[in-house]
């Protein structure tokens, strides 16, 4: 007999165990689970777990840092509904993998839990239907007009405004653009023609129209603001216009609001100038938030606050509106996003808040013609408290 003995057998019978070779074991047959098991079967689970952990960390960071750390303003701009969709998309493969399933599913469920209140969803709208609105309810609309009628047909623009048939209009960006800068306009003659009998208040970029008498007008001008970025100072320094109106002997305070942007989308995020801009905008936002909060806390009247707030659902910026009710809680939309009009609206930038003692019947978010604005319009139907009604505790102390 000639040949060479191997650990797997003899030369005569490959694969057989030679009794003269101690501890000899047969070679595994090619393609058996023992041969293929190893890192190659575990990498999908490890990759999925890594993605789930990164997403959970992002969601947790957003909850902790948004509205509190200026740098996050340039990071946390993903559409809020992704806080639901991403975990659901990860949950399917996490449940199918064999190795690391428990850890992956656990992290995905944690991310879903952390993000559930950051989605901007209002599932109650599915059950609410369209409740009856009293005939004497006040109709208030809020809309960012996006440079007024500059880029649209003027007659069509005013026809759309009139078609809303509102008692109160809270309109932002009553302005045009000259080059890259906002510029003031004066269209009061046309407004008086289109809305006869209405009372008008305007400061900076804001225009408030009311069927009811205006008793007080005050633009909130915070102290300590940085110099304006362009020649029209009021555009930068006035971000809230408070107008008090007399509704059959009851005072209602209207806060027409357009807070500064989170970032300048025209700047390259890889440059220092971009990050300086984000920080400066954040500091300016904080000054306006503080002035608004101070005025709200000192105001004993029922309040309607609405406009383009540049605030996203589930962020720390919402703390400035504590004590007020989000009008979307009475809305007919599960996802009341307002931007952009053309294509799917993925971001909720425009909001409406009311005092708890106001009887809010309904909020609806409506699409204007795409040629008029990039923002959707908010329509509110509400009734004021009876004269002499006391404010609830949550409204007396909004801190």
Is the peptide bond preceding residue 340 cis, with omega within 30 degrees of 0? Answer: yes
361 near 330, Cβ under 8 Å?
A: yes
pLDDT for the residue 395: 53
Distances (CA, A) of 89 to 93, 104, 109, 184: 8, 12, 11, 47
d(CA 107, CA 113): 10
Return the higher-pLDDT residue of 162 and 4.
Answer: 162
d(CA 322, CA 317): 10
pLDDT for the residue 391: 60
Task: Express as a percent the part of the chain with pLDDT over 90.
Answer: 77
| Average pLDDT of the residues in 376-391 | 87
What is the average pLDDT score of the chain? Answer: 90
pLDDT for the residue 129: 76
Tokens of 25: 């074991």
pLDDT for the residue 213: 99
Q: pLDDT of 132-183, one tens digit each?
A: 899 999 999 999 999 999 999 999 999 999 999 999 999 999 999 999 899 9
d(CA 255, CA 129): 28
Which phi and psi angles does 346 have, rounded to 5°? Answer: -105, -20
Q: pLDDT of 373-382, one tens digit each?
A: 999 999 999 9
Going by pLDDT thresholds of 50, 70 and 90, the confidence category of residue 98 is confident
pLDDT for the residue 257: 99
Going by pLDDT thresholds of 50, 70 and 90, the confidence category of residue 123 is very high
Kindly give, in sequence order, each residue whose CB lies less than 8 Å from that of residue 33, ignoring residues fewer than 6 positions away.
none
d(CA 206, CA 304): 15
E-only strand ranges, the chain: 138-144, 168-172, 176-178, 181-183, 199-203, 206-210, 214-219, 240-247, 250-258, 303-308, 325-326, 350-354, 359-366, 377-383
Domain ranges within the chain, ordered by starting residue: 38-118, 131-396
pTM: 0.87
d(CA 259, CA 332): 25
The pLDDT of residue 7 is above 50: no
Q: pLDDT of 242-256, one tens digit each?
A: 999 999 999 999 999
Q: Which fold has domain 131-396?
A: Deoxyribonuclease I; Chain A (3.60.10)
Q: Is 320 helix (H, G, I), strand (E, B) or coil?
A: helix
pLDDT for the residue 23: 52
Nearest CA among 337, 289, 280, 290 for reference residue 313: 337
d(CA 308, CA 171): 9
d(CA 116, CA 63): 11
Kindly give, in sequence order, each residue whose CB lies less than 8 Å from that of residue 262, ignoring residues fewer than 6 positions away.
73, 74, 77, 278, 281, 282, 285, 310
- Would you list the DSSP string of 85-133? HHHHHHHHHHHH-SSSHHHHHHHHHHHHHHHGGGS---TTHHHH-----
The pLDDT of residue 25 is above 80: no
Q: Per mean pLDDT, which of 19-28, 70-79, 229-238, 381-390 is the most reliable?
A: 229-238
pLDDT for the residue 44: 80
| Average pLDDT of the residues in 371-390 | 91
The pLDDT of residue 26 is above 70: no
Going by pLDDT thresholds of 50, 70 and 90, the confidence category of residue 74 is confident
d(CA 181, CA 346): 27
pLDDT for the residue 96: 86
The pLDDT of residue 19 is above 90: no
38: left (phi over 0), alpha (psi -120 to 50) or beta: left
Going by pLDDT thresholds of 50, 70 and 90, the confidence category of residue 5 is very low
pLDDT for the residue 10: 43
Give Cα 100 distance to the centre of its chain.
Answer: 34
pLDDT for the residue 217: 99
pLDDT for the residue 11: 44
């Amino acid at each position: 007999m000639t040949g060479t003995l191997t650990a797997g057998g003899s030369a005569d019978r490959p694969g057989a165990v030679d009794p003269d070779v101690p501890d000899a074991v047969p070679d595994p047959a090619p393609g058996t689970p023992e041969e293929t098991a190893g890192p190659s079967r575990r990498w999908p689970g490890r990759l999925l777990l890594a993605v789930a952990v990164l997403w959970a960390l992002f969601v947790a960071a957003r909850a902790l840092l948004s509205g509190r750390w200026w740098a996050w303003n340039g990071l946390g701009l993903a559409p809020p509904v992704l806080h639901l969709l991403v975990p659901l998309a990860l949950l399917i493969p996490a449940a199918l993998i064999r190795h690391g399933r428990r850890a992956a599913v656990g992290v995905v469920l944690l991310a879903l839990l952390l993000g559930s209140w950051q989605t901007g969803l209002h599932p109650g709208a599915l059950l609410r239907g369209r409740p009856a609105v009293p005939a004497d309810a006040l109709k208030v609309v809020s809309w960012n007009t996006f440079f007024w009628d500059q880029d649209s047909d003027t007659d069509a623009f005013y026809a759309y405004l009139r078609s809303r048939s509102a008692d109160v209009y809270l309109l932002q960006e009553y302005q045009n653009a000259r080059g890259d800068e906002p510029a003031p306009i004066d269209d009061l003659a046309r407004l008086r023609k289109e809305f006869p009998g209405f009372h008008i208040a305007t400061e900076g970029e804001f225009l408030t129209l009311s069927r009811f008498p205006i008793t007080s007008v005050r633009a909130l001008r915070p102290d300590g603001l940085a110099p304006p970025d362009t020649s029209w100072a009021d555009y930068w320094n006035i971000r809230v216009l408070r107008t008090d109106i007399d509704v059959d002997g009851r005072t209602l305070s209207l806060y027409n609001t357009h807070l500064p942007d989170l970032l300048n989308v025209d700047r390259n995020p890889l440059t220092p100038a971009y990050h300086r801009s984000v920080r400066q905008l954040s500091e300016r936002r904080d000054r306006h938030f503080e002035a608004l909060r101070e005025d709200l806390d000192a105001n004993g009247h029922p309040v309607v606050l609405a406009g383009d707030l540049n605030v996203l659902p589930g962020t720390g910026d919402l703390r400035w509106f504590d004590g007020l009710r989000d009008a979307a809680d009475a809305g007919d939309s599960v996802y009341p996003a307002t931007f952009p009009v053309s294509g799917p609206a993925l971001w909720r930038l425009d909001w409406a808040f009311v005092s708890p003692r106001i009887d809010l019947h309904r909020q609806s978010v409506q699409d204007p013609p795409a040629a008029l604005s990039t923002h959707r319009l908010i329509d509110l139907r509400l009734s004021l408290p009876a004269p002499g009604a006391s404010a609830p505790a949550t409204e007396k102390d909004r801190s």
